[in-house]
Structure 1
Amino acid sequence: MGSLLAAMGLVFVAELGDKTQLVALGLGARHRLAPVVVGVVAAYAATNLLSVVVGGLVGEALPTRAIGLVGGVMFLGFALWTFRSGDGGIDDEEDVGSGSRSIVVSVAVAMFVAELGDKTMLATATLAARGDPVAVWIGATIGIIASGLLGVLLGRAFGARLPERATRIGSSILFAGFGLVLIATSL
């Protein structure tokens, strides 16, 4: 139980104001709540599982520079895709059926990439190496989902007050900014 609570508290606090929480905020402002929440939960569960399994086994051997560069390029792609997806794309009222699945996948991929090599992923790997990996995975996943959902809900609150074009441009700028920072810090 100690590993679960330690991971939950540490990851929740570490994630506040982190890039993935801000990405969740941008996605929450742009899309319906349900597909964004499903995508966020799936991505966080997967990244925490990856960090517990791989990070706990090989820790420092991960090529964090390459992960950062690939992630940065992917974020630049997300920025372009988000910017170009306006006018005629799927919006809040239209994202049903296959559109919802597309949003879930897009959110999950964006959040997964954003979290790769992040401090919370590394902290989760460290905790898993020292404690019960299953408890660490559960605790870290609960903590990061709570933080991510806070970002999504804030995005929904702000997004409801902003025009769709402003939200799309703001989200694109956030994605591009994170991409450039990831690339710059990985060089």
Structure 2
Amino acid sequence: ESGDKTNLGFIHAFVAAISVIIVSELGDKTFFIAAIMAMRYNRLTVLAGAMLALGLMTCLSVLFGYATTVIPRVYTYYVSTALFAIFGIRMLREGLKMSPDEGQEELEEVQAEIKKKDEELQRTKLLNGPGDVESGPGTTIPQKKWLHFISPIFVQAFTLTFLAEWGDRSQLTTIVLAAREDPYGVAVGGTVGHCLCTGLAVIGGRMIAQKISVRTVTIIGGIVFLAFAFSALFISPDSGF
């Protein structure tokens, strides 16, 4: 009986996390970062860097959410339900106000950001270029060793994604979900959701970035969030879900 309840809790958390992440991330800044970087660099490197950042962020968010479980479940359950309702209403309002080509601005913003990082990368390459000998052995050897393991593209994909995700809607959602659902289910579901979105961005690249209607995704997202808030009215806080 308790085993079944645990499995059900895990599945419920997994489904909740994966659906919420997909509607939060499609057409989001992190989606565009992966899409644009994958058009210019090695796709696997970009995917690995972005996924490491998103996986790490999901686990951190789950820990934050789980830490709140010291507070009696009744409170966290209703607070999280209220947050879902607020997120849902905000997403619906944003979506309805958006112009159909809303995502393009974000796309251009990310392109500019990546271009700036590229120029910085080129400058450091020039500085540490053939004139390496002059900078002394102490500075160049560790750097060369590092570059064998981690390419600058990997680091760029990781840092850009991590910073874009911090404080983002999907991070807050993961924290809220982990406070009320099975934390393992949320961690796995969240990571799989990110994997799907980032994988899609890396493979589809520009085509998806241009075809995707951020407006439609935002409206659907708002409905999904409201559905979670609404479902809480029928599930008691201590039903094991």
Q: TM-score range by the shorter chain?
A: 0.5 to 0.7
Once the two structures are superposed, residues 44-93 of structure 1 have per-residue CA deviations (whole angstroms, 9 ceiling, x without a partner) of 1001011111244369xxxxxxxxxxxxxxxx98653223445996xxxx
Native 8 Å contact 2:53 2:161 kept in 1? yes
The one-letter amino acid of 1:101's match is: S
The match for 1:34 is 44
Within 1, Cα distance between the matches of 2:57 and 2:199? 16
The match for 2:148 is 98
The match for 2:168 is 118
Native 8 Å contact 1:33 1:156 kept in 2? no
Out of 6, 26, 36, the position equivalent to 2:16 is 6
- Residues 42 and 111 (structure 1), Cα distance of their counterparts in 2 relative to 1, 3 Å cut: same
Within 1, Cα distance between the matches of 2:29 and 2:47? 17
Within 2, Cα distance between the matches of 1:156 and 1:78? 15
**Which ranges in structure 2 are unaligned for 5 or more consecutive residues?**
1-10, 69-75, 77-111, 126-146, 209-241
The one-letter amino acid of 1:98's match is: H
Within 1, Cα distance between the matches of 2:152 and 2:124? 15
Q: Which structure is larger by alpha-carbon Rg, 1 or 2? A: 2
Give 1:1-187 correspondences, 5 Å limit: 1-57=11-67, 80-85=116-121, 98=148, 101-155=151-205
Once the two structures are superposed, residues 123-169 of structure 1 have per-residue CA deviations (whole angstroms, 9 ceiling, x without a partner) of 111000001111101101110121111111222779xxxxxxxxxxx
The one-letter amino acid of 1:34's match is: L
Q: What is the deviation of 1:18?
A: 0.6
Within 2, Cα distance between the matches of 1:142 and 1:40? 13
Q: How does the TM-score come out when normalised to structure 2?
A: 0.50
Within 2, Cα distance between the matches of 1:130 and 1:12? 19
Within 1, Cα distance between the matches of 2:115 and 2:63? 30
Q: How does the TM-score come out when normalised to structure 1?
A: 0.63
Q: CA RMSD in A?
A: 3.1
* Percent identity (aligned): 30
Within 2, Cα distance between the matches of 1:100 and 1:155? 23
**Which ranges in structure 1 are unaligned for 5 or more consecutive residues?**
60-75, 90-96, 159-187
Native 8 Å contact 1:48 1:137 kept in 2? yes
The match for 1:67 is none
* SS of equivalent to 2:185: helix
Within 2, Cα distance between the matches of 1:107 and 1:29? 13
Native 8 Å contact 1:5 1:139 kept in 2? yes
- Residues 11 and 77 (structure 1), Cα distance of their counterparts in 2 relative to 1, 3 Å cut: closer
